[in-house]
Chains A and B, each alone.
Chain A
């Protein structure tokens, strides 16, 4: 099972990202757990400058934008 973390301090873009990721996981029946990370201490531990960011199994895959569904699928599969 994969762990997908969405990093963001609760801004509209971050909320949108969470929504899309959850949709993608549901639509594709991915075996993944989606976790919302809002604690700034944990967010910066990933060494990113811009949020929202999508982290798959502790690796930053997407940052600084609301991703498209395809980008999320790519991030989860690769």
Chain B
């Protein structure tokens, strides 16, 4: 799919700049050119595509759907699947949470959406395709949906309503299920496109610097770190490798887009892919700043349970991936 790009990268590094093909610098630079162009192209493509899909699934419509339909457990899957196509900025998580719960959507179903939405987002998908290919990306997306679904179901079993902050409980008892009017504008895709494009460039501006730094670091490691270097520390045989990498990932949230290109090199140099995917899930899905935002609506105990369940599920997925991939 990207051979033409490899040819261009080769042309620039070896012919135009006349860097020795066997040199470490040449290898690093070649990797950087190839990877950054490929990933930028994919980012533009996937973010725009997701914007188009999102036109048909605005978050208000998702809320409407979930609060009106009781689907015998299927709503967990729906909430989780909606999470894939409905990205939201983490700063919206509190109003979103309140709006969902107030609309009569069960807490567990709301959690399913809240878990999958940041976990499987457009930037992560584009980076995964560019770095690990389509098959691994599909596995990431599908397992992300299942993970959100199961975590929501488990959390629901814990009967967590009493652990919401008092003012939210108050609000919930007062609010009879509100009648929601569908206030979403019905614009055609053609009308919406300038806006989608505007959003795409906005997201790009936010992530491109991190991605480029990530690829640059990846390029250097690619050229300078010997094959199999990490095998010794994070190989499949070490049972603690998965939980260790997941725990390491939690504080790294803001640089998710920069970490993936580095991961690619780590995998190439000996880290099992399952451990890498679990690490990425933890980076993208578990964010400390988000946890602190949720303090407005949840007691610390509830936040801890929420994060605990998701973390545990990510660790289990990591082991599963390592077994089957």
Check if B90 sits within 8 Å of A11, measured CB to CB. yes
A50 neighbours in B (Cβ, 8 Å): 59, 88-89, 92, 95-96
Contact B296 A49 (CB under 8 A): no
From B90, B91, B99, B293, residue with most partner A Cβ within 10 Å: B91
Interface residues of B: mostly helix, strand, loop or mixed? helix
Q: Range of interface residues on chain B?
A: 20 to 34
- Any chain A CB within 8 A of the CB of B239? no
Which B-chain residue is minimally distant from A47 (CB atoms)?
Answer: B99
Q: Are B94 and A40 in contact (CB under 8 A)?
A: yes
**Complex contacts, B95 vs chain A, CB 8 Å:** 40, 43-44, 48-51
The interface stretch among A19-27, A28-36, A62-70 is A62-70
Partner of B99, one of A44, A52, A68: A44
Whether A49 pairs with B63 at a CB distance below 8 angstroms is yes
Residues of A within 8 A of B296 (CB): 40
A16 closest partner in B (C-beta): B202
In the complex formed, the residue of B with least CB distance to A46 is: B95
Report whether A64 and B92 are in contact in the complex, using a CB–CB cutoff of 8 Å: yes
Which residues between 78 and 114 of chain B lie within 8 Å of chain A, taking CB atoms? 88-92, 94-96, 98-100, 102
Number of residues from A at the complex interface, CB < 8 A:
21
Contacts A49-B60, A50-B59 given; indicate if A13 touches B89 (C-beta within 8 A).
yes
- Give bound CA distance, A66 to B98, whole Å: 22
B232 within 8 A of A: no
| A40: B residues at CB distance < 8 A | 94-95, 98, 296-297
With known contacts A64-B59, A65-B199, A51–B99 Cβ distance under 8 A: no
Chain B residues within 8 Å of A47, by CB: 99, 178
A16 to chain B, nearest CB (A): 9
* B301 close to chain A: CB less than 8 A: no
Does chain A have a CB within 8 A of B177? Answer: no
Q: Which chain B residues border A66 with CB–CB below 8 Å?
A: 202
Task: State whether A64 touches B88 (Cβ < 8 A).
Answer: yes
Q: Given A9-B293, A44-B98, A64-B59, are A51 and B199 also a contact pair (CB < 8 Å)?
A: no
B59 touches A49 (CB 8 A): yes
**Which of B89, B99, B167, B198 contacts A11, CB < 8 Å?**
B89
* Nearest-Cβ distance from residue A17 to partner chain B, whole angstroms: 11
Q: How far is the CB of B34 from chain A (nearest CB, A)?
A: 31
A49:B92 contact, CB within 8 angstroms: yes
Q: Is A74 an interface residue (CB 8 A)?
A: no
**Given A41-B167, A66-B202, A68-B198, is A48 in contact with B90 using a C-beta cutoff of 8 Å?**
no
A31 to chain B: closest CB distance in Å?
27
Closest 8 pairs between A and B when the two form their complex, measured CB to CB: A11-B91, A50-B92, A49-B99, A49-B96, A44-B98, A49-B59, A51-B92, A40-B296
Q: Which residues of A contact B (CB under 8 A)?
A: 8-14, 40-41, 43-44, 47-52, 64-66, 68
A sample of 19 more A-B contacts (CB under 8 A), given A44-B99, A50-B92, A64-B88, is A9-B293, A11-B91, A13-B89, A40-B95, A40-B297, A41-B167, A44-B98, A47-B99, A48-B99, A49-B59, A49-B60, A49-B96, A49-B99, A49-B100, A50-B59, A50-B95, A52-B91, A65-B199, A68-B198
